[in-house]
Amino acid sequence: MLSRTADHLFWMARYTERAENTARMLDANYQLSLLPQSDEYAELGWRAMLSISELSGIYSAAHHGMKSRDVIDFMARDLSNPSSIVSCLRAARENARAVRSSTNSELWESLNTTWLDCQRMLADGILEREPYTFFEWVKFRSHLSRGVQLGTLVKDDAFYFMRLGTFIERADNTARILDVKFEMMEQRADTSAQPFDYHHWVAVLGSVSGFEVYRRVYRDVITPERVAGLLILYRDWPRSLAASIAEVEQLIGQVTKGRDTEATRLAAQLSAELKNGRIGDILKGGLHAYLVDFLARVNDLAGRVSREFLLPIAQEPPAQTQSQTQTQSQGQTQSQGKE
Partner 1 sequence: MTQAFFNEMFERSDLEARGVPAAAFRGVGDPRTHYRDFLAWLSAQSEQQIEIKRAEADLNFRRVGITFAVYGTSDLPGIIPERTIPFDVIPRIFPADEWRALERGLRQRVNALNRFIHDIYHEQDIIRAGIIPEAQILGNAQYRPEMRGVDVARDIYAHIAGIDIVRAGQGEFYVLEDNLRVPSGVSYMLENRKMMMRLFPDLFARNRVAPVAHYPDLLLDTLRAAAPAAAENPTIVVMTPGMYNSAYFEHAFLAQQMGVELVEGQDLFVDNDYLYMRTTQGPQRVDVIYRRVDDDFLDPLVFRPDSTLGVPGLIGAYRAGNVSLCNAVGTGIADDKSIYPYVPDMVRFYLGEEPILNNVPTWMCRKPDDLAYVLDHLPELVVKETHGAGGYGMLVGPASSAAQIAEFRAVLEAHPEKYIAQPTLALSTCPTYVEAGIAPRHIDLRPFVLSGTDVRMVPGGLTRVALREGSLVVNSSQGGGTKDTWVLER
Q: Which is nearer to partner 1, 101 or 191 (CB)?
A: 101
Shortest Cβ distance from residue 315 to partner 1 (Å)?
8
DSSP conformation class of 318: P
CA 183 – CA 29 distance, rounded (Å): 14
Q: List own/partner pairs for 289-296 with CB under 8 A and 24 or more apart.
A: 291/175, 291/176, 291/178, 291/179, 291/182, 292/179, 294/171, 294/175, 294/241, 295/172, 295/175, 295/176
Q: What is the DSSP string of 42-60?
A: HHHHHHHHHHHTT-HHHHH
> What residues numbered 267-326 form the site for partner 1, per CB under 8 A?
309-310, 312-314
Q: Which is nearer to partner 1, 38 or 336 (CB)?
A: 336
Distances (CA, A) of 113 to 81, 117, 145, 146, 184: 22, 6, 11, 14, 37
Q: Could you say whether residue 329 binds partner 1 (CB under 8 A)?
A: yes
- Segment (H or E) for 108: helix 105-123
Q: Which is nearer to partner 1, 38 or 328 (CB)?
A: 328
Q: Which is nearer to partner 1, 50 or 310 (CB)?
A: 310
Site size for partner 1 (CB under 8 A): 47
Shortest Cβ distance from residue 79 to partner 1 (Å)?
4
Q: Which is nearer to partner 1, 259 or 275 (CB)?
A: 259
Which one among 67, 122, 250, 253 touches partner 1, defined by CB under 8 A?
122
Of 328, 294, 5, which Cα lies nearest the Cα of 165?
5
Which one among 61, 123, 221, 319 touches partner 1, defined by CB under 8 A?
123
Map residues 83-102 to x or -, x wherever contact with partner 1 holds by CB under 8 A: ---x---x---x--xxxxxx
CA 85 – CA 19 distance, rounded (Å): 5
> What residues numbered 19-78 form the site for partner 1, per CB under 8 A?
77
Shortest Cβ distance from residue 165 to partner 1 (Å)?
14
Helix (H, G, I), strand (E, B) or coil at 321: coil
Shortest Cβ distance from residue 164 to partner 1 (Å)?
11
Q: Is 257 left (phi over 0), alpha (psi -120 to 50) or beta?
A: left
Which one among 31, 37, 113, 299 touches partner 1, defined by CB under 8 A?
113
Q: Which is nearer to partner 1, 11 or 294 (CB)?
A: 11
CA 246 – CA 17 distance, rounded (Å): 17
Q: Could you say whether residue 334 binds partner 1 (CB under 8 A)?
A: yes
Q: Could you say whether residue 119 binds partner 1 (CB under 8 A)?
A: yes
CA 192 – CA 206 distance, rounded (Å): 25
Q: Which is nearer to partner 1, 102 or 271 (CB)?
A: 102
On whether the CB atoms of residues 54 and 134 are closer than 8 A, the answer is no
Q: Could you say whether residue 161 binds partner 1 (CB under 8 A)?
A: yes
Q: Could you say whether residue 332 binds partner 1 (CB under 8 A)?
A: yes
| Interacting residue ranges for partner 1, rule: CB under 8 A | 1-6, 77, 79-80, 86, 90, 94, 97-102, 105, 108-109, 112-113, 116, 119-120, 122-123, 157, 161, 255, 257, 309-310, 312-314, 329-334, 336-339
